[in-house]
Amino acid sequence: MESALPSIGTVGLWVPGMDLRPPAESARAAAEAEALGYGALWLSEGLVRDPFMEAATLLGATRSLVVGTGIAVIWGRHPRVIRSQARALLDAHPGRFVLGLGTSHARMVEGVLGLRYERPLAALREHLDRLDEPDPVLRLAGIPDGPAPRAPRVLAALGPRALALARDRSAGAFSYLVTPEHTADARAVLGPDRVLIVEQAVVTGLRTDEARDRARAHIAGYLPAAPYRASWRRLGFEDADFAGGGSDRLVDALVAIGEQEIIQRVHAHLAAGADHVCLQALPVDPAALPLDQWRSLAHLAR
């Protein structure tokens, strides 16, 4: 049986590049997110600092906030190292860490991490097999053999096969850049007893034209990634929607602009079967934290 997720509420935050900020600034931001009432803070794959190390910093700066990797990329990470890192976080902060794992996409894995990307679903399945093996180091240390202690985990999943793997091998799925229609499809695959965590990109506090420009710049970064294009095609988008940085139709479907639209989109995901929606507020500067947007949307978490 998979470990159950801790209580994370219905609305949290997804924060890219938290590790690009000084640790003290990241710690203050996590403390403010907790004070604002957000149930969980999800970290992207680290570019400067490892997300497990970053999670330790944020957990140490807060008292009840749940921190999760959303997601940690499996390539280049030995399963035993992941297991020991997750165990260390849970030993220090019981019930406050969620392990999110995934394969990302070739542009990230090969272009940024410099690793080989192939057979992603098979690689993830094999990684989980090794992650779930009894720990030989514990056995050598004389600790009684048995199932390895597990952090509650979720798997990044967009397509039906990945969602089925999340259903069968984890507590649930973590989706990214999707619509409420995808959320309904994902819930149908997962069934009623798995957790569905949905990322939702948002922009608030700007004029519509400025907000859409910011949203389009965000979407443009994902257009070359084959898994996202495949996901969007399953939702009815076509090649024309991927031209010019993304059509208005695509951008508006994936990024909620303005407070009323954000409220409606969150409610739509929850009505379609999401258990938790994590907001990714898009800042004007990718290296800055969108604290103003976190504050203005905090009523959704409360």
Helix (H/G/I), strand (E/B), else coil: 158: coil
CA torsion angle for 70, 75, 76, 78 (degrees, to 10)? Answer: 80
The one-letter amino acid code at 18 reads M
How many CB atoms are closer than 10 A to CB 114?
A: 9
Per-residue model confidence (pLDDT) at position 69: 98
Parse the chain into domains and list their residue ranges. 11-296
Reference 148, options 170, 133, 129, 169; nearest CA is 133
pTM greater than the 0.75 cutoff: yes
The one-letter amino acid code at 242 reads F
CA distance 301 to 35: 11
Per-residue model confidence (pLDDT) at position 137: 72
Tens of pLDDT along the chain (302 residues) come to: 467 899 999 999 999 989 999 999 999 999 999 999 999 999 999 888 999 999 999 999 999 999 999 999 999 899 999 999 999 999 999 999 999 999 988 777 777 778 788 999 999 999 999 999 887 777 777 776 555 457 999 999 999 999 999 999 999 999 999 999 999 999 999 999 999 999 999 999 999 999 999 999 999 999 999 999 999 999 999 999 999 999 999 999 999 999 999 999 999 999 999 999 999 999 988 789 999 999 999 999 98
Tokens 């590790």 correspond to 19
Its CATH class, for the domain covering 11-296, is alpha beta
Per-residue model confidence (pLDDT) at position 149: 53
Per-residue model confidence (pLDDT) at position 47: 82
* Alpha helices (runs of H) in the chain, residue ranges in sequence order: 23-36, 51-60, 79-92, 106-109, 120-131, 136-140, 160-169, 180-190, 208-220, 226-234, 248-254, 259-272, 291-296, 298-301
